[in-house]
Chains A and B, each alone.
Chain A
Amino acid sequence: MSIGPNTLALLGKELQTEFRSRELLTTTGVFILMVLVLFSFTFDPTSSESRRFGPGLLWLAFLFASSLMLQPCFLREQTNDTLSSLRLAVSDPFSIFLAKLGANTLFLLFTELVMLPIFSVLYSVHVLPQIHYLLLVLFLGSLGISITGTALSAISAQARMRELLLPVLLLPLLTPILVASTEVTVGLLAPEPFMEWKGIGVLAIFDLVFLTAVWLFGEYLLEE
């Protein structure tokens, strides 16, 4: 079987596992909401201040949430010892990665899309006019977070202090995502919205570089 069908099959399995319990999505959503509420105490959430600080805080919330959400990714396989069976089932270990990062991207996107209207109401920013561009930056940002987060969760699953290690490894690596996504989002939510294409460029390059890196080195992350 080639990489495509393998990946789709595994992706289906990942999605099915999550939608049966929905615990990951629910907990991540609640976490983001909590962070949004707590952030409101750190500055004066008037409309102009929200437009200035809001996007950065939103992306910070997504980053923190993802560093927690991505923990179970490979930990689950380890506790149930299913990783070796997965590797036997597919010819190319990259399909395992692709499936997991695809699933993680979808989970992140789903949670972000649910949180976006809540953010819009709580911080009085208008998201609908630029929704198409917002979807683009959400997609590219979430993809970048998932690619690196999935790879690093394979490492942290086999280390001590794994709950703290994954954020410690992941967050500095995601600096370009935070910077670029925030800049683009600030532009889109400004009183006169504009599209910061340079930021999109940074996100796209980040995604491409790390997807290539995972393709080249992914199998070593799954070694026994």
Chain B
Amino acid sequence: MKNFDSIFAAYLVGWAVYFVFYLSIGKRAAALTGEIERLKNSVGRGK
């Protein structure tokens, strides 16, 4: 196929960007969930 590299690169880069974004949300969410647990425990202890 003519210009196969370019089409391949375009789809790869595009999907990679969306996928990396999706993963980064997941990572940040996991970190925040952990922090919520930690805070809930310390608030619970304080009460």
Within the complex, are A and B direct neighbours (CB within 8 Å)?
no
Instruction: Give residues in B with beta carbon < 8 Å to A.
Output: none
